[in-house]
């Protein structure tokens, strides 16, 4: 609920243009930063921001405006803001191309359950549907991608619509909400009410049920019965735990009942990676010990995770020894969507874990042999790499980064090999310090999301670990960081091409590097950074200079750019191929694997084409 609903608003009854009402509602919602790019159809609202900030008697703090190079950048900035804080990120763009450039971040936010609100201009109501200048069917396009889309046709409902957008974005399973704002609606004079939302009977009732949903005593008994019947319980933790700020409850649960945990790519940070009970990431590029633990467990407890194809590539053989599977999720549609479970609860991770801890007050069971087993797995099959090479190994760069920042920086990434290395080798300690495009896998996410995270967390160290392919995608945003003097640290791991694509081409396409080799590309990233005003812009080739340069880079006061030329042959291991079970996991040349790897064993090519 917005603050405005609780107290009488000082502007109640005042007449103002729609655009002003929009900005006032944003201010009431606590929006301190708007990411956005102006244009014809949104000009009235941009003007309203200017006037709002210039008004000495305004009711609220000034709203900072951060202008990206491209609207997609604004979307990912808002996403970085939202992911790192849990608050709703806001972006504001014009109609037509402005709005369509935001389709990718909107879909990305929906796929990763990130609360953002996009306000986009639209041609005046009378011109809609006439193929007017800068007109796009935003309602249709966005309806297919967002949690919800509004087209404001009635200026009388404008204020309530904006307020409802925030409510919908952050409630239940969070997600992106789009508001399409015809230009004439922004200009229409409205009477400011100061409170009120639109009512959606079904959604409100479902939310209320969700908020009141508690695990009953009987269901809790069933849960603990399964736990007492099992010898090898394992938590399988996803982004739901981060979204509901339940890291504390999760850690307490794990330690209270002595249940080790594996995390999905979005669950990273819910447990301290250094914690004995944390087995780190599972799945396609999970640690070998996490995946072995999944294979060995007899009770899998999924919390805020969804058996995604990168985790359960071969659903039937996922957690094959689990006698029981329990699933806690805020989204009823995730229960049983992929894998049938024995016990489930639809509810928020925080309250669900809390009530299980309460119900289990007197529960005692000794899981020592299992804990010994997972400790052994961690010791025997750790992540490792070629430590003798003269070429810089990306893993080492990330280990040093982790060490120098004590695992406490906010790490943001693009998509590809560097993303997986950053997931594997950085030792995360806290929730919301790992921001990545997991489900959509959007290259180009890193830099703008890091800028958004830095804007939201002024005192914190934000590092964009990026790849040369991903960084190119939104390279224009390099300048945005220096323009606003946001001290983002851009760490480019350059392997001269699309490394993950090359890795798949090596495995499944006979080493034919169609479209993925960039050794002949001309870009001088260091010069590019210099041109964008980076006072620190360096390149390292020499492994011996890696540590010192990284230290210098991280301690630089303003925005900084460091390009690390890495071994282009470095691969991401372990790897469970698409559609394969963990039994078929390959661990590469350096990580030990449990069954002796069969020499020259190749993945059956005939099974690949359909899989992704």
Partner 1 sequence: MTYQDDKKEGLHVLSALVENEFGVLARIAGLFAARGFNIESLTVGPTHDHTISRMTILVKGSSTVIEQVKKQLNKLIEVITVQDLTETGNFITRELMLCKVNCNPKNRVEIMKIGELFRAKAIDFTPGSLTFELVGSAEKADNFLIFLHPYGIAELARSGVVGMNRGSGGLQSQLQKKLASRVEEPTREEPEPV
Positions annotated as catalytic residues are: 71, 133-134, 183, 500
Nearer to partner 1 by Cβ, of 338 and 507: the residue is: 338
Nearer to partner 1 by Cβ, of 157 and 543: the residue is: 157
Nearer to partner 1 by Cβ, of 531 and 611: the residue is: 611
217 SS3 class: helix
Contact 33, 455 (CB under 8 A): yes
Least gap, CB of 148 to partner 1 (angstroms) = 5
Nearer to partner 1 by Cβ, of 115 and 269: the residue is: 115
- Cβ neighbours for 324, distance < 8 A, ≥ 6 positions apart: 226, 229, 230, 298, 299, 300, 342, 343
Least gap, CB of 379 to partner 1 (angstroms) = 41
Exposure of 387 by Cβ count < 10 A (0-12 exposed, 13-18 middle, 19+ buried)? exposed
Look at strands 233-237 and 299-303 and give their pairing: parallel
Nearer to partner 1 by Cβ, of 202 and 458: the residue is: 202
Residue with tokens 């039994």: 583
Q: At what angle do helices 18-28 and 43-54 cross, to 10 degrees?
A: 60
DSSP state of 415: S
Q: ∠ CA 462-275-493 to the nearest 5 degrees?
A: 35
**CA–CA distance, 273 with 425 (Å, rounded to integer):** 10
**CA–CA distance, 65 with 31 (Å, rounded to integer):** 11
Nearer to partner 1 by Cβ, of 332 and 391: the residue is: 332
Least gap, CB of 140 to partner 1 (angstroms) = 6
Least gap, CB of 190 to partner 1 (angstroms) = 19
What distances in angstroms separate CA 259 from CA 277, 367, 428, one per listed residue?
7, 8, 19
Nearer to partner 1 by Cβ, of 153 and 256: the residue is: 153
Pick the closest to residue 560 from 583, 540, 586 (CA basis): 540
Strand partners, 537: 561
Contact 491, 404 (CB under 8 A): no
Least gap, CB of 336 to partner 1 (angstroms) = 7
Exposure of 379 by Cβ count < 10 A (0-12 exposed, 13-18 middle, 19+ buried)? exposed
Contact 219, 343 (CB under 8 A): yes
**CA–CA distance, 376 with 373 (Å, rounded to integer):** 5
Nearer to partner 1 by Cβ, of 88 and 435: the residue is: 88
Least gap, CB of 564 to partner 1 (angstroms) = 40
562 SS3 class: strand
Contact 447, 477 (CB under 8 A): yes
Residue with tokens 């590469």: 588
Least gap, CB of 333 to partner 1 (angstroms) = 4
DSSP state of 114: -
Contact 42, 93 (CB under 8 A): yes
Residues lying near partner 1 in the complex (CB under 8 A) = 139-140, 143-144, 147-149, 151, 153, 168, 200-203, 205-206, 208, 331-333, 336-337
User: What is the DSSP annotation of 351-385?
Assistant: HHHHHHHHHTTT-----HHHHHHHHHHHHHS----
Least gap, CB of 164 to partner 1 (angstroms) = 9
């Amino acid at each position: 609920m917005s603050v405005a609903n609780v107290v009488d608003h000082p502007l109640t009854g005042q007449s103002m243009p729609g655009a002003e009402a929009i900005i006032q509602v944003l201010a009431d919602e606590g929006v301190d930063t708007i990411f956005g790019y102006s244009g014809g159809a949104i000009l009235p609202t941009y003007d309203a921001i200017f006037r709002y900030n210039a008004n000495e008697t305004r009711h609220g703090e000034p709203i900072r405006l951060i202008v990206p190079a491209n609207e997609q950048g604004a979307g990912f900035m808002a996403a970085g803001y939202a992911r790192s804080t849990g608050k709703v990120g806001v972006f504001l763009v014009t109609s037509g191309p402005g709005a369509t450039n935001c389709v990718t971040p909107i879909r990305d936010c929906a796929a990763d359950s990130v609360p953002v609100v996009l306000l986009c201009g639209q041609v005046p109501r009378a011109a809609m549907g006439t193929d007017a200048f800068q007109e796009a069917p935003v309602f249709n396009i966005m309806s297919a991608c967002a949690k919800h889309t509004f087209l404001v046709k009635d200026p009388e409902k404008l204020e309530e619509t904006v307020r409802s957008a925030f409510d919908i974005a952050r409630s239940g399973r969070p997600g992106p909400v789009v508001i399409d704002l015809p230009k004439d609606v922004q200009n229409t004079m409205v009477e400011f009410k100061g409170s009120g939302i639109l009512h959606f009977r079904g959604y409100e009732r479902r939310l209320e049920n969700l908020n009141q949903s508690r695990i009953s005593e009987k269901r809790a008994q069933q849960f603990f019965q399964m736990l007492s019947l099992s010898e090898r319980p394992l938590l399988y933790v996803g982004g739901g735990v981060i979204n509901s700020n339940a890291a504390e409850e999760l850690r307490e649960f794990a330690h209270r009942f002595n249940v080790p945990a594996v995390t999905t790519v979005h669950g990273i940070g819910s447990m301290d990676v250094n914690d004995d009970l944390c087995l780190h990431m599972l799945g396609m590029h999970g640690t070998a010990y996490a995946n072995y633990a999944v294979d060995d467990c007899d009770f899998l407890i999924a919390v805020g995770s969804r058996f995604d194809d990168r985790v359960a590539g071969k659903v039937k053989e996922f957690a094959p020894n689990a006698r029981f599977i329990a699933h806690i999720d805020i989204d009823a549609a995730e229960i049983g969507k992929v894998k049938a479970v024995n016990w489930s609860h639809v509810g928020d991770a925080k309250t669900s874990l809390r009530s299980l801890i309460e119900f289990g007050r007197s529960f005692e069971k000794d899981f020592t042999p299992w804990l010994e087993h997972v400790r052994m797995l961690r010791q025997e099959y750790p992540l490792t790499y070629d430590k003798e090479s003269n070429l810089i190994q990306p893993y080492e760069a990330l280990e040093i980064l982790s060490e120098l920042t004590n695992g406490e920086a906010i790490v943001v990434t693009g998509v590809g090999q560097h993303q997986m290395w950053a997931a594997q080798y950085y030792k995360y300690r806290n929730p919301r310090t790992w921001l990545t495009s997991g489900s959509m896998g959007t290259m180009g996410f890193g830099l703008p999301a890091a800028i958004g995270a830095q804007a939201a967390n002024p005192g914190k160290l934000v590092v964009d670990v990026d790849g040369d392919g991903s960084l190119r995608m939104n390279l224009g945003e390099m300048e945005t960081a220096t323009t606003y003097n946001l001290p983002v640290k851009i760490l480019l791991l350059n392997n001269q091409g699309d490394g993950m694509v090359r890795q798949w081409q090596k495995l499944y396409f006979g080493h034919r590097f169609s479209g993925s080799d960039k050794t002949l590309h001309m870009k001088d990233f260091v010069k590019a950074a210099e041109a964008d005003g980076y006072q620190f812009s360096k390149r390292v080739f020499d492994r011996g200079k890696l540590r010192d340069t990284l230290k210098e880079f991280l301690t630089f006061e303003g925005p900084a750019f460091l390009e690390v030329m890495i071994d282009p042959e470095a691969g991401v291991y372990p790897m469970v191929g698409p559609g394969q079970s963990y039994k078929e996991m390959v661990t590469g040349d350096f990580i030990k694997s449990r069954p002796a790897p069969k020499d020259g064993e190749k993945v059956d090519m005939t099974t690949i084409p359909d899989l992704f």
